[in-house]
Amino acid sequence: MFERFKKKSAKVVQVPAPLTGTVIPLSEVPDEAFAGGFMGQGVAIEPAEGRLVAPFDGTVAHVIKSKHAVMLEDNATGLQFLFHIGINTVGLKGEGYTSHVEMGDSVKAGQTLIEFDMDAIKAAGYPVVTPIIVTNADELASSVEGHTGNVTAGRDFVLSISLKS
């Protein structure tokens, strides 16, 4: 009788780490656009190795010309993510980065998206901290919760996202 008054439970999406390293809150990223949440909600990872992998099956929505960032759309939910390797690294003009995908490519969880030379990036004076941003969270999510600590790519979760019903 009261079925219509029952609260629907929101679907929660767990997002695996796209990098191995240490997850930190966005507020600790040394760039105001990311730290202030102006780019969107998410977390950042201090990588332990120079390999970014697809955390889920998806479609490459965009690869930044200088290869330091890629956007993926999750095929299952429509959520879109920006993976931005390093801070102000557009100045490297692609040096130290090897992209293995192009816009429109379908990718599988665990597939290598970008390899990067952490030592070369650091030697050029850039931090390698990598923000992971949910770019369309305002449209599709009721909440985005970040998890901090050490993670292994493809194994540990970095975000829990409650989808709007």
Task: Answer yes or no: 100 catalytic.
Answer: no
> How crowded is residue 105: how many other Cβ atoms within 10 Å of its Cβ?
17
> Which of 68, 84, 100, 147 is labelled catalytic?
84
- CA dist 3 to 12, 81, 83, 163, Å? 22, 36, 42, 22
Query: Which residue from 92, 74, 13, 19 is spatially nearest to 52, judged by alpha carbons?
Result: 19
Enumerate residues 6+ apart whose C-beta is below 8 A from 21. Answer: 45, 46, 47, 48, 49, 130, 150, 151
Helix (H) or strand (E) holding 34: helix 32-35
The answer to whether residues 98 and 115 touch, using CB atoms and an 8 Å cutoff, is: yes
Indicate which residues carry an active-site annotation. 84
